[in-house]
Structure 1
Amino acid sequence: MIPSPFNFVPNAANVMTMHLLDRLNNHIVDAKGNHVEYATVPRKISYMDDYGLLSGEDRKSLIAGDRFYFNSQHFEGRCLLFIDDVKITGTHQNKLVDLMRKQQLENKTFFLYFARYTGDRPNIESELNFAAVKSIKDLNRIVVEPNHHMTARTIKYILSADPDELYNDFLRFRSYRYLETLYFNCLNEGYYKIQKYQANIDIIRNVANAMKEKRHASPR
């Protein structure tokens, strides 16, 4: 079972994949079958644009610059289940199919989606992604949900916020552990190389360090 390819921070498709994998294996093992294995297709993303805003042709052009690693020896002869949250244009699926064809893999393959869009407005994906988030304030009620998962889209939204609003409306309400995770994810995704993100990354680091120092200075 393979989620939509990602770089370092798991995407929404990976969260869905783990949920499905746990429950599917529970049923399979109860039925005395062999469990489904988890695998990934590592991906080096070549762009920082909001993919959900793009047309079908723009998506195809951008993803052409990405690097995917497909372990053909590991996957050879296996039934492959690719999991994604929504199919808008099919660009990711087409990329994976092309990659398998180039490596001469003829596996039995299924692409499974939570939803499929059949209209002609690919940028509707962005509307869906941000339907419940109109400002950085809106993230406060989302990130405290017990089952919240930090994704690359969330991080980029945080890094795109107005610096003053970022601190006053969001960061000052977060725990040190959250801020530390957020900061390290910014580094591991390579966002520190993007000029428009650098100021907010510095703010996140400074707030996290200040909170850490305050914790250490507190009497025990």
Structure 2
Amino acid sequence: MKDVFALHSIVDADSFPFDPAAYSRFKFGDCDAADTFGAALATGFITAYGEQLLSREQLVILPSPYTSIPTASYYMTLAFAKTLNRYLCIHDCKPVEYAKIHRYKTYSIDYGALDMQSRQALIINDRYHLDREFLLGKTLICTDDIRITGSHELIIRNLLKRFELDNEAYFLYYAQLQNKEIHPNIENKLNYHSVHSLRHLEAVLCAPSFRFNTRVVKYLLNAPAEEYEQLLLRQTPAFLEELADNMISNGYHQMEEYRRNANFLLDHLQKIIPSWQSICKKEKEPILKYQNSLLA
């Protein structure tokens, strides 16, 4: 059995059964919104499937696939797991386990703006990996924030088949597009509902609940250079280091479309943090702008 559960259904392109502004902030790193969504998803899931869950030997949660930088839905999943674990604890059941769907490819295109055919063409060459031995015989809970065309779900279903995992599985979403007359780019409308410029993003970045995710890093690296540079100059060294480390971990500094903004960030870090000078400096050469060193 592989069931699909969505807390909310989208049937109208201009009216949503949840707060689209909060959803947009969630997609750009607002973990207060992620906590709210995750807890609500868990409560709805328990209401629908609670009795079934109590009879399962071991539940394993698999957040949506990512390379190194987590997605927004990863943080939603953490809150989901806390609420689910409390329910399991009350009924003297084992807490959930976690597993990762490893993803070995990343891209700069904004997935939410694409139609179904373009989405499938984009992800068809992605490579994924699962720990088959760890997952054998366990009940899987695959989580994501929204289901638009089902392309990513199909990837996971095929992945389970490829690894010969015939596990019972649930595919969980905070929201699902039910009206097929609505273009899939409705996802972009939601993503950018309240965050559609660096000015709007900065309000999220400054909040105590902010956490980096893939979308935030890509959005910053693809932003207009002058606005991006001014925003970075207003951030703390700790923020800049975390941005740079995330960027490097996903290989974004090696992608041509991000190169200019990546160079500025790394060059600026050399100027303000001595340890970055030793990282970026070439042997027996003076410290230069970053575009003249490692990325040359």
Give yes or no for TM over 0.5: yes
Q: Structure 2 residue aligned with 1:102, among 151, 158, 162?
A: 162
**Is 2:224 the counterpart of 1:162?**
yes
Give 1:60's match in structure 2, choosing from 107, 116, 120: 120
- Alignment partners' CA distance in 2, 1:61 and 1:52: 14
C-alpha distance in structure 1 between counterparts of 2:265 and 2:106, whole Å: 24
Q: How big is the shift at 1:209?
A: 3.2
Matched, 1:197 2:219: no
Matches within 5 A, 1:72-83: 72-83=132-143
Residue 182 of structure 1: aligned partner = 243
Deviation at 1:46, TM superposition (A): 4.7
Verify: 1:142 aligned to 2:215, yes or no. Answer: no
Contact 1:171 1:207 in 2 (8 A): no
> How big is the shift at 1:103?
2.4
Q: Distance in 2 between matches of 1:53 and 1:201?
A: 24
Aligned counterparts of 2:132 and 2:79: Cα–Cα separation in 1: 25
Query: How far apart, CA to CA, are the structure 2 residues paired with 1:12 and 1:163?
Result: 25
CA distance in 1, matches of 2:196, 2:62: 32
Q: Which has the higher contact order (CA 8 A, sep 6+)?
A: 2
Q: For 1:147 and 1:22, locate their aligned partners in 2 and report how far apart those are by CA, in whole Å.
A: 17
Percent of aligned pairs with the same residue? 30
Corresponding residue SS for 1:96: helix
Match of 2:151 among 91, 102, 123: 91
User: Of residues 123, 132, 135 in structure 1, which corresponds to 2:194?
Assistant: 132
Determine if the alignment matches structure 1 residue 34 to structure 2 residue 94.
Answer: yes
CA distance in 2, matches of 1:135, 1:199: 19
**Paired residues of 2:106 and 2:250 also in contact (CA < 8 A):** no
Choose from 184, 209, 228 the match for 1:122: 184
Structure 2, gaps ≥5 residues long: 1-60, 275-296
Q: CA deviation at 1:23?
A: 2.1
Counterpart of 1:188 in structure 2: which amino acid?
S
Kindly state the Cα deviation for residue 163 of structure 1 after the two structures are TM-superposed: 1.3
Question: 2:272 aligned with 1:206, yes or no?
Answer: no
Could you report, residue by residue, the CA deviation over 1:173-193 in whole angstroms, capped at 9, with x for unpaired residues?
211111001011111111112
Q: Deviations over 1:109-152 (max 9, x none)?
A: 00010001123311111121111122212111101222212111
Q: Is the CA contact 1:2–1:83 (under 8 Å) kept in the aligned structure 2?
A: yes
Three-state SS of the structure 1 residue aligned to 2:170 is strand
In the alignment, the residues of structure 1 paired with residue 154 and residue 237 of structure 2 have an alpha-carbon distance, to the nearest angstrom, of: 41
Contact residue 8 and residue 189 of structure 1 kept, 8 A: yes
CA distance, structure 1, for counterparts of residue 155 and residue 136 of structure 2: 18
Q: CA RMSD in A?
A: 1.4
Aligned residues: 212
**Which residue of structure 2 lines up, in the alignment, with residue 11 of structure 1?**
71
- Conservation of the 8 A alpha-carbon contact between 1:46 and 1:62: no
Query: Hey, what's the Cα distance between the residues in 2 that align with 1:209 and 1:137?
Result: 26
Structure 1: which 5+ runs fail to align?
214-220
CA distance in 2, matches of 1:75, 1:191: 31
| Higher alpha-carbon Rg | 2
Paired with 2:188 and 2:268, the residues of 1 have a C-alpha distance of: 30
Using the size of structure 1 for normalisation, the TM-score is: 0.91
